[in-house]
Amino acid sequence: MAVGEKKVSRVGRKGVAKRKGPVGRKTAKRNGANRRAPSKKVDPVEAEIVRGAMETICYEMATHVSLTATTPILNQSNERNATILDGRGALAALSVGIPQFMLSSTLPVRFALEFFGPEGLHEGDVLVGNDPYHGGGHLPDYNIFAPVFADGELILIASIQCHHADTGGGMPGGYNVDALDIWAEGVRYPAVKIFDRGVEREDITYFMRVNNRTPTFVGDLRAQIGAAQLGVRRLQEVIARHGADVVRGASTYMIAHAARRFREEVARWPDGTYESDVYVDHDPKGNEDIHIHCAVTVEGDRLKIDFTGSDERDNLQAYSTFGNTRGYVVAQIATMMDPAIPKNEGFFNSIELIVPEGCCLNPPPNKSVAAGTHHPGTEVGEAIAIALAQVIPERCCPQIYKMGMPTVIFGKHPDTGAMFIDHSVDTFGAYCGAVHGQDGWGAMNVSFGNLIRATGEINESIFPVRQMGRDYAIDTGGPGKWRGCPGTLYEKQIMAPSQIYTFVVGRKYPMPGIAGGMNGSPNQLRLRTGSEHEHEIERAAFYVDHEAGEGYAYRYGGGGGWGDPLERDPQAVLDDVLDEYVSVGAAARDYGVVLNGSLENLDLAIDVAATEKNRDAIRAAR
C-alpha cells in the first residue's frame, strides 16, 4: 500500500503516493513493507501456532483494559484495538476492537521507531502517542506501546490504542469540532516515553494528568500501560518457547501469506475502473456537500483505490487524517473478502492507495481533525462499497454510520460537584445496512467493530441522566429484497444543569441502499425536549444549555436496503409488519405487498392477487 506523509502519512497531490520522512521508501523496507523472506524455511504449522498465540495476546491486552480502566468509554465500550508489530514496524497480528484503529495505531509506532532510532528504545520502555499528524486518527485516540527484546534485539512491539474521554483542549470530551486548528483540540503527544527502562517518568504522567479534565484519566492511562506490559510479558514467553528466529520467520511468512491470499481474491474480480461520488451533508461550520470521489481499479490481482477529485476547499472543518482514511479503506475491503485472510501488513500493503495531499481525506498541516474520524472518514467505506457494487454487489455493504459525532453532555454532577462527561455511548440500533441474503440487524455496523454500548442502567448509575426511551422506529430501515436495520427513537432526560455539544449529518445523505435497495431514514435530533424551548437541530449544537428535567430525542437513521424491494418475500414483509418494523402502508408503498385485516387484531393476511397487481403497477411507474 502506498504510504507517505511528512513524518508519517502525506501523499503527493498527483499520482501515486510519494513516500517521505520516517516512512519513506528506504524506511518502508525497514518497517516491513518490503521484507525479504526468512533465510531459514518456515514450518507453516508452527507459523500458524505463533500467529494464533499473537492474536490471543492481542485479545488479552484488549480485555485487560476493559477490566481495569476507570472511565466508561474505556471499560464498557470496547473502543480499543490491540496490535503486535514486528521490529521493523510491520503489523503482524491484531484483535479488532474498532477496525479504523488497525492503521491509526500502527503508523504512530513507525514514527517512534524512526524518531528514537535503533539505539533509542530499550527493554522496559513504554511510549504514548496520539498525534493525528504523526499517524494517528484524532487526539482522543491514545496509543500506548512497548518494545519486546530478545538478547538485546528488538523483535516485536505490543500496542494498545483506546479512545479517551478528554484531550485537554477547548471543549470537554475531546470533540472540539469547531476548533481553529489542531492545537485548539488538545495536547499532542507524537511519541513520548512514559516508562524509561522500566521506570515510570512521573513528570510525564503528571504533565498528562494536568492536561486532561477527566478525573479518572490516569487510571485509564495506567490500564493501557498495564495492557502493553502484559503484552510484552506474553510475547517474551512466546519467544522463549519458539525462539526469536522462528517468531521472526513466522511473522514474515504470515505477512506473505496474507498478501498472496489478498491477490487471489482480487484476481477473481472483473477488471476495470469503477467510480463513485458520495457526500457528507456539511461540516460543523456549515460548509455543505463535502465531496468524496473514489475510483477503484482492478487489474489482474492488483487493486488501486484513488481518491483524487475529493473535496479540496481550503475553508473546510471536516478532515480525515491519512491514517484514519487508510484504516477505513482496509476496514471496508476486509468485509468484502474471505474473513480467513490474516489482517496484517501483507493485507494492507496489497492496496495501492492514492490520497492527494490537501484534500478532505489527507488534510493540510495542522488542520482541525476532531470530527474527521467520523465524517468524512466513514464515507471512505461508503465510496468503496458503492464503486464495487457495480461488479461484486453480493459482497457490498457500506460499513459506515451517519451520526455526525457523539452527543456529548457535560456539567457538574450534583452528588460530587465534579465535572461529568457523558459521550452518550448508550445502546441503540441504527445504520446497519442489509447484505446479500441478510437483513440489517444488531446495534451497529462493522465499522464500529466490537464496540459495546453501555446499558441505560449502567450509565444512569454514573451520570445524572435517565433513559426514557430506546425503541426501534417503524419505517426507518431501508426497503430492499433484504431490509436495512431500523433506526432507533432514543430519548434521554438530563437530571442536572448541563450543556450539549454535537453536530448532526445523515439528514440530506442518509445510509445508502445497494443493488437497487432504498436508502435508510435520515437522522433527526431535538434538544431541550420537555420544555417550551424544544427545537430541532439543523446542523450543529454547540454548548446548548439544558435545565434539569429537560432532555433530547434522537431519531437515529436506519440502514440501507439491498436489492429490489419488490423482490422481497411477501411473508417476510408481513413478519416485519407484525414486528412493527414496517407499517401496513409502507408494505404496500415500498414493497408492493397488500395486506388484509388489521394489525390490532393480529389477523393480517397477504392478498396474493392484489400484491401481484400492485407490484406490476409500481414496476410500470418506475
Evaluate if residue 13 carries a pLDDT over 90. Answer: no
Average of per-residue pLDDT across 35-56: 82
**Closest alpha carbon to 406 in 360, 454, 366:** 454
Give yes or no for a contact between 310 and 293, defined as CB atoms under 8 angstroms apart. yes
298-318: pLDDT as tens digits: 999 999 999 999 999 998 998
Evaluate if residue 416 carries a pLDDT over 50. Answer: yes
Q: Full-prediction pTM beyond 0.75?
A: yes
Q: How far is CA 453 from CA 72, 254, 450, 557, in A?
A: 10, 33, 10, 17
Residues in contact with 551: Cβ distance below 8 Å, sequence separation at least 6, in sequence order:
466, 468, 491, 492, 493, 494, 528, 529, 530
450-507: pLDDT as tens digits: 666 777 888 899 999 999 988 999 999 999 999 999 999 999 999 999 999 998 999 9
Distance, CA of 83 to CA of 148 (rounded, Å)? 13
Give yes or no for a contact between 393 and 340, defined as CB atoms under 8 angstroms apart. no
126-156: pLDDT as tens digits: 999 999 999 888 899 999 999 999 999 999 9
Angle between helices 217-242 and 202-210 (to 10 degrees): 140
Instruction: Name the grid cell of 312.
Output: 479540496
Other C-beta atoms lying within 10 Å of the C-beta of residue 473 = 21
Q: Identify the band that residue 21 occupies on the pLDDT scale cut at 50, 70 and 90.
A: very low
